[in-house]
Structure 1
């Protein structure tokens, strides 16, 4: 089996372990995010399965690169290099989409009632999503309790314990006690946190993809030239070696 530089071999193996950890982080990000509320309020095609797919692909590529580096497999490393090139290029697309998404969210924060329909005119599916969100987040209405136009649902009503904790307010519609916080600011804050986390993940993937391309390219080059001669630098002689002279034995004088 061809031999490569041991430091490069273990460096690429450790790199792929870190790359797999990034994939696990992306999957965890999908598990902890509330995409149902975001989709129901902002009509975005954002699903947890998207994060599961991206995280799984990252982990498969990391395993491929780790196996190729550890076993010094040229085929696995070439396939890993191709995946790194395509993956780095693909980071531009989600980055652009996320920039558009953030500008849209910022415009909705500045103009919350632009194109917004009252809850009594919304579709039953959207009303159900908002009511579930109100019960979990303890809020009422997207922007205020007036979104319900007097038809305040039970999900907005406060309990006695919530009233004692100061989370409620009394409204004119039947003197009901409802949650004082609106739901949209809570969702908007979560969306911005989600944006920052996803953007950091994509930037990390782009940097790791570039590093993986460099490491795998060097290792593939070493595997293609296993019998390359080793060049040793020798210092040129600055002095001539002493010449050997013939030694003559001098006989001692004779004594008669």
Structure 2
């Protein structure tokens, strides 16, 4: 018979396996997002290096929890509990950093200069993403249509029947001397880009504060299992003394 209650042990292992799988998915997502790290930081967003710290933590700590539950060793549970305390603190800090970064990004886009568009316009892949974004969001340029210089993209073409949804406030004539569509969207994509990043930030904030709560629950379960291990070991010692 094990030292820990079988139901609690199985439940603990199950949730740690789920979070280990989630950690693997987050590592994969961080790997895919890494090429865009420069563009995100250039407009005031947080460094994606933090996403690697978060993803690796979610992957490694559940594995430690599984090992602790399988071996039923008090020392390993204490190490795991210590990491849970640290994890709660880190998740709360991450949540606060994301909130601050969100506000910083909003201020950066609200007061953006032409330099803010350079990371998007100089990267071929980001330029293609921007063009697709312009067509869907009915906007032109990151800061203004002048981001395209004298060669306005066809994705900026304003069609009257599309005007007003979801971000465009109307059409305007292209700048004098510029090539491209005669009528382009009057608004820039900065507000639409913020809506996209705002959703991303809200998801991350939800993750951070949810994981802080889950870390607290894991800590409480660890303390309970440490108590059960101590109770089992002390009971075993007293039995051995009586037999002697």
TM-score with structure 1 setting the length: 0.69
Distance 1:158 1:9 in 2: 57
Distance 1:108 1:50 in 2: 20
Residues 31 and 163 of structure 1: is their aligned pair in 2 closer, same or farther, counting only changes over 3 Å? farther
| Gapped regions of structure 1 (runs ≥ 5) | 231-256
Q: Spell out, residue by residue over 1:36-90, the C-alpha distance to the aligned partner (whole angstroms, 9 max, x if none).
A: 44333x144522x432332122111101101211232333222211110111112
Is residue 2:181 matched to residue 1:186?
A: no
Name the counterpart of 1:196: 202
Distance 2:127 2:56 in 1: 33
Name the counterpart of 2:166: none
Residues 187 and 37 of structure 1: is their aligned pair in 2 closer, same or farther, counting only changes over 3 Å? farther
Question: What secondary structure does 1:18 align onto?
Answer: helix
Name the counterpart of 1:206: 212
1:209: how far off? 0.6
Matches within 5 A, 1:21-36: 21-24=21-24, 26-27=26-27, 29-30=29-30, 35-36=37-38
Residues 158 and 213 of structure 1: is their aligned pair in 2 closer, same or farther, counting only changes over 3 Å? closer
Aligned residues: 218
Which has a greater percent of helix?
Answer: 2
1:38 to 37, 40, 43: 40
**8 Å CA contact 1:77, 1:220 repeated in 2:** yes
Name the counterpart of 2:242: none
Q: Spell out, residue by residue over 1:212-234, the C-alpha distance to the aligned partner (whole angstroms, 9 max, x if none).
A: 1111111112212325559xxxx
The ranges of structure 1 where at least 4 consecutive aligned residues each deviate by more than 6 angstroms after the TM superposition are 162-165
Q: Larger Cα Rg: Structure 1 or Structure 2?
A: 1
Distance 2:175 2:188 in 1: 17
Is residue 2:131 matched to residue 1:128?
A: no
Distance 2:32 2:52 in 1: 12
Distance 2:144 2:232 in 1: 71
Question: What secondary structure does 1:91 align onto?
Answer: helix
CA RMSD of aligned residues (A): 3.5
Distance 1:195 1:44 in 2: 10
Matches within 5 A, 1:165-244: 170-174=173-177, 176-177=180-181, 180=185, 182-228=188-234
Residues 32 and 140 of structure 1: is their aligned pair in 2 closer, same or farther, counting only changes over 3 Å? farther
**8 Å CA contact 1:4, 1:222 repeated in 2:** yes
Residues 124 and 94 of structure 1: is their aligned pair in 2 closer, same or farther, counting only changes over 3 Å? closer
1:95: how far off? 1.9
